[in-house]
């Protein structure tokens, strides 16, 4: 069956959400960003493999960011899967607390010091201790030459007590030169995500939340020009409990006995958000919540 689109938001689709076009001088004024929500296991990877290129082409996407911390059977990310996701057309991979579930990722992060290593485009949250392998931000250029940056942060409420994500963002923004800046706020508490959105309003292009695997319906452009969404949702199987086979999770709740969790396979959806911004200022002009299902 063809993909079906649901959950669309845009203040003025005909103007704000139309594909970017050159001006009279041939300069692209608008940048369109696609942020793909937590890729969960093989089902998530397969729907990205099958449909990302079409979404990029038909919607005029210039920059693709995806959260990949659950790509390896729902828990963690391996170097080979990181490389696979990058080959599919993702420009930067963000992660979160589950990134360490596969130990080999630490050595992969260390390899980012080599020239030309793709590992530099795979991030762990920036507010981990300074000597933690990997980095939490990336600055580069899109295929059309637009400078951009991606920052990965992790919340502290109901999660590991890392360094302050708010002050970490302040420190990183002091040195980032790009105007187009996307922040992945990987956090449990909606209040902490919303607080980060307001804290960075006007200083970054977008603050989008990940981690809970449940898409929220509060997409908006904040007053100073930052696009915001509390949680992009999961790219993976929705006939599940946040990606895992239902019976396995129910057994854990009913017995409190640890059980092996495995990715579910049914009702696979591609959950993402599309953000338009001004190339010169980085200010967001529109946000569209996108859920594609087969």
Reported as a pLDDT band with limits 50, 70 and 90, residue 106 is very high
Residue 34: strand pairing partners: 64, 274
pLDDT over 60 at 15, yes or no? no
What is the pLDDT averaged over residues 25-43?
A: 86
pLDDT at 162: 92
The residues annotated as belonging to the active site are: 98
Tokens of 132: 């933690």
pLDDT at 17: 41
pLDDT at 117: 82
pLDDT at 161: 86
The per-residue pLDDT of the chain, averaged, comes to: 90
pLDDT over 70 at 267, yes or no? yes
What is the pLDDT averaged over residues 222-249?
A: 95
pLDDT at 27: 52
pLDDT over 50 at 23, yes or no? no
pLDDT at 152: 98
What is the pLDDT averaged over residues 201-217?
A: 97
pLDDT at 116: 65
Q: Which residue has the tokens 């895992």?
A: 244
pLDDT over 70 at 127, yes or no? yes
On the CB side of 189, CA atoms within 13 Å amount to 10
Reported as a pLDDT band with limits 50, 70 and 90, residue 10 is very low
């Amino acid at each position: 069956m063809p993909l079906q689109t649901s959950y669309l938001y845009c203040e003025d689709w005909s103007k704000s959400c139309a594909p970017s076009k050159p001006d009279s001088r041939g300069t692209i004024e608008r940048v369109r960003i696609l942020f793909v929500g937590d890729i969960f296991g093989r089902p998530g990877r397969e729907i990205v493999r099958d449909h990302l290129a079409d979404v990029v082409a038909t919607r005029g996407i210039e920059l693709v960011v995806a959260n990949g911390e659950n790509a390896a059977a729902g828990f963690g990310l391996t170097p080979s899967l990181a490389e696979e996701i990058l080959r599919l057309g993702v420009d930067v991979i963000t992660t979160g607390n589950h990134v360490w579930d596969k130990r080999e990722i630490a050595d992969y992060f260390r390899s980012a010091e080599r020239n030309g290593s793709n590992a530099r485009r795979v991030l762990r949250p920036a507010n981990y201790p300074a000597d933690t392998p990997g980095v939490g931000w990336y600055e580069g250029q899109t295929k059309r030459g637009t400078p951009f940056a991606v920052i990965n942060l992790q919340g502290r409420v109901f999660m590991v007590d890392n360094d302050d994500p708010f002050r970490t963002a302040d420190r990183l923004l002091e040195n980032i030169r790009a105007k187009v800046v996307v922040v992945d706020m990987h956090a449990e508490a909606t209040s902490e995500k919303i607080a980060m959105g307001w804290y960075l309003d006007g200083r970054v292009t977008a603050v989008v939340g990940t981690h809970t695997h449940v898409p929220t319906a509060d997409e908006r452009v904040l007053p100073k020009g930052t696009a915001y969404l509390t949680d992009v949702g999961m790219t993976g199987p929705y006939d599940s409990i946040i990606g895992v086979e239902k019976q396995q999770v129910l057994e854990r709740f009913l017995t409190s006995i640890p059980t092996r969790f495995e990715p579910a396979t049914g009702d696979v959806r591609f959950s993402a958000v599309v953000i338009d911004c001004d190339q010169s200022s980085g200010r967001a002009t529109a946000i569209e919540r996108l859920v594609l299902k087969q």
